[in-house]
Structure 1
Amino acid sequence: MAIWLKVHPKGCTLSLYIQPGASRSEISGLHGDRLKVKIKAPPVDGEANAALIKFMAETLGIAKKNVHLIHGETSRQKTLLVEMSFEKVESLIKV
Structure 2
Amino acid sequence: MSAPAASCWTRRAEGVELHVRLTPKSSRDALEGVETRADGARVLKARVRAVPEDGKANEALIALLAKQLKHPASRIRLTAGATARQKTLLLEGDSDSLAERLAALFP
Same fold, TM-score > 0.5, yes or no: yes
**Considering only CA atoms, is the larger Rg found in Structure 1 or Structure 2?**
2
Q: Which residue matches 2:63?
A: 54
Give deviations 1:20-73, integer Å, cap 9, x for gaps: 011111111233211110111111111001101111111111111111000000
When the two structures are superposed, what TM-score results if normalisation uses the length of structure 2?
A: 0.80
**Counterpart for residue 90 of structure 1:** 102
d(CA) in 1 for partners of 2:84 and 2:101? 23
Between Structure 1 and Structure 2, how many residues are aligned? 95
Q: CA RMSD in A?
A: 1.5
Between the aligned partners of 1:41 and 1:7, the Cα distance in structure 2 is 29
State the alpha-carbon separation in 1 of the partners of residues 47 and 58 from structure 2. 11
Equivalent position of 1:65 in the other structure: 74
In the alignment, structure 1 segments of 5+ residues that lack a partner are: none
Q: Is the 8 A contact 2:34 2:106 kept in 1?
A: no
Q: Is the 8 Å Cα contact of residues 29 and 49 (structure 2) preserved in structure 1?
A: yes
Structure 2 alignment gaps of length 5 or more:
none
State the identity as a percent.
33
SS at match of 1:17: strand
The TM-score, its normalising length taken from structure 1, stands at 0.89
Q: Paired residue for 1:36?
A: 45
8 A Cα contact 1:60 1:92, kept in partner? no
Distance 2:27 2:61 in 1: 14
